[in-house]
Structure 1
Amino acid sequence: MTAPNHTLEQWLAEEASTLERLNAGPGPGVARPEQIAGKTGLQQMQAMLNGEIPHAAIAATLDFLIIGVEDGVATFQGTPGLQHLNPMGTVHGGWFATLLDSALGCAVHTRMPAGRGYTTAELSVNIVKALTPKVPRVRAIGRVIHCGRQLATADARLIGPDGTLYAHATTTCLVFEMKHPPASGATT
């Protein structure tokens, strides 16, 4: 197993590289229908990571970002901070849930054919260890278990650079056909 400090150095380098690509792109926002037309979910996610289409603004709000995607897998990295603490001095469960839901949903997104979308129907989060800002970074790694025509399921783990498990989660997503409005200037 890799030493925690070495792992953290790798994670920080990947974070810096990702931020550089994202900052060179259009910034936070929502992709226009013409930007994603004909692209699979994996191609959309890769385009976002390459700074070709907007990325989600919530990542900046909650201090996490997507680090990588591949077929059926999405990895997010987060920085638990003082602004995420509950009154007991540990990271609020909502931060755990949002980070894990993002990894789960984006893992499912990578399996969407062009013209198909998804939405979270069920999310189950199990927090197994308290998290404080003393842990400099955590990673949520989501993996698809099943992706069908109407339902997709995935699981995720939230770990620290030393391999400590802080939480795990599952999701069930509804899969559907996307209905985009006509491009500007088009007639109906």
Structure 2
Amino acid sequence: MKLDQKPLAWVSEQSNAMQRLREGGGAPGLAHMEQIVGKSGREILEAMMSGALPYPPMSETMNMTLLEVGEGRAVFQGMPLLRHYNPMGTVHGGWFSTLLDSALGCAVQTTLPAGRSYTTAELSINIVRPAWQKTGPLRAVATVVHPGRQMVTAEARVEDEQGKLYAHATTTCFILNAVTA
């Protein structure tokens, strides 16, 4: 597939998500505590997606966007670029890791009540197919497997628009009280 023949539905969906975010006033940055206090994890993510809260600056660096959240579910989409290549001429494993870790973490975050947070304790990734810039958009869909009180596990897959698998991962996250200062 040539670079100008990328699947258009997913490209358009990511572009629309970024436009909606910016129209809502969204910009890269960090939310202040007073902006998120009293909000559940899912409410925080939904506020980021609408532009009411800043989104992580890393999203622009990695060319990825949070498209969707639901209870125990998050969907990220990324478009690998030349700047994401490794010395071997394919997309660096760190790009896949970031896309997967972001989707997995946000899936976990959707299950958290106000005042609770998480941190990744373990992340296991398998890249099963290389990607290039010409590959086009790749989507990471993550779901929570076990929503425990102190530990949550989740799994995710990275696929292209035709359903071809590129990578999959699992995570274990510790649940903790949100830092207030």
Same fold by TM-score greater than 0.5: yes
RMSD between superposed Cα atoms in Å: 1.2
Q: How far apart are the structure 2 equivalents of 1:107 and 1:139?
A: 14
TM-score normalised by structure 1 residue count: 0.90
Larger deviation, residues 132-141 vs 167-176: 132-141
1:53-132 pair list within 5 angstroms: 53-132=53-132
CA deviation vs aligned residue, 1:4-27 (integer Å, no higher than 9, x gap): xxx933212321221112223240
The aligned counterpart of 2:3 is: none
Contact kept in structure 1, 2:26 and 2:50, CA below 8 Å: no
The aligned counterpart of 1:22 is: 21
TM-score normalised by structure 2 residue count: 0.93
The aligned counterpart of 1:171 is: 171
Q: Which runs of 5+ in 1 are unaligned?
A: 1-6, 182-188
Q: Which runs of 5+ in 2 are unaligned?
A: 1-5
Residue 160 (structure 1) shift: 0.5
Q: How far apart are the structure 1 equivalents of 2:26 and 2:91?
A: 31
Q: How far apart are the structure 2 equivalents of 1:70 and 1:9?
A: 24
CA deviation vs aligned residue, 1:56-75 (integer Å, no higher than 9, x gap): 10010111111111111111
Residue 39 (structure 1) shift: 0.8
User: Identity percentage over the alignment?
Assistant: 50
CA deviation vs aligned residue, 1:116-157 (integer Å, no higher than 9, x gap): 000001000000111111211100111111111110110000
Any runs of at least 4 consecutive aligned residues in structure 1 with deviations exceeding 4 A, and if so which? Answer: none
